[in-house]
Amino acid sequence: MRVVLMGPPGAGKGTQAVIVAQHLAVPHVSTGDILRANVAGGTPLGLEAQKYMDAGEYVPASITNGMVRDRLAEPDAAVGFLLDGYPRTLAQVDELTGMLAERGVALDTVVELTVDTDEVVGRLVKRAAEQGRSDDTGAVIRRRQEIFADQTAPLTAVYAQQGLLVRVDGMGSVEDVTARLLAALGA
Ligand code: AMP
């Protein structure tokens, strides 16, 4: 099963993606996690990406597209994947469609987790305190929401048009949201 999980920063995507991927028995592919691992490891890619991440900006396509292409080419992704944090722009939508088409496959479902913005910002502030993420400060949180609304929210219209989009209410307990996601995915 090839699934994309979308939703604004703080919608609980990462948490849900880990659980849902396990249920579907597919790898959880998070571009944010891969980027953070590169930052932590001090790789050239990480050093380049960090300045964008710290500002809440999207890292350049020259970094993300190759990263996703390489990850999806790994053997464990042959059975499917749950993509978290990619695509985030219309250009990335086309990139992803192309990468999959080269292998004669396509997405099965795009799930959008919907939440209310106040709740989202509250969660991000809490996460900043718990995890000390350098991109979870007040100004950066607002910037990330803005960029999401501007660049990523429009993707749902594209996927809706392709008949791939399912919307799932992201409010409530982790367990409730997981149950809704699995139901939406028929898992
Ligand atoms: P996330 O953990 O998904 O919220 O991603 C954290 C940060 O990594 C984002 O704020 C961006 O700076 C960067 N990032 C992750 N995925 C992408 C992507 N698909 N395109 C551009 N930047 C990304």
Of residues 96 and 132, the one with the higher pLDDT is: 96
The active-site residue out of 2, 36, 71, 127 is: 127
Q: Pick from 88, 124, 146, 151 the residue to mutate for probing ligand 1's pocket: most ligand atoms within 8 Å of its CB.
A: 88
Q: Say yes or no: CB of residue 32 within 6 Å of ligand 1.
A: yes
Q: E strands within 19-134?
A: 28-30, 81-84, 109-114
Active site residue 88: yes
Q: Per-residue pLDDT for 15 more than 90? A: yes
Active site residue 2: no
Q: Whose CA is nearest to atom 22 of ligand 1?
A: 58
pLDDT the model gives residue 168: 97
Count of beta carbons in the 10 Å neighbourhood of residue 111: 25
pLDDT (tens digit per residue) in 20-68: 999 999 999 999 999 999 999 999 999 999 999 998 899 999 999 999 9
Active site residue 13: yes
Summarize the confidence of residues 116-142 as an average pLDDT.
78
Tell me the CA–centroid distance for residue 32 and ligand 1, in Å. Answer: 5
φ, ψ of residue 83 in degrees (nearest 5) = -90, 130
**18-27, 124-133, 144-153, range with greatest mean pLDDT:** 18-27
Q: E strands within the chain?
A: 2-6, 28-30, 81-84, 109-114, 165-169
Q: Whose CA is nearest to atom 21 of ligand 1?
A: 58
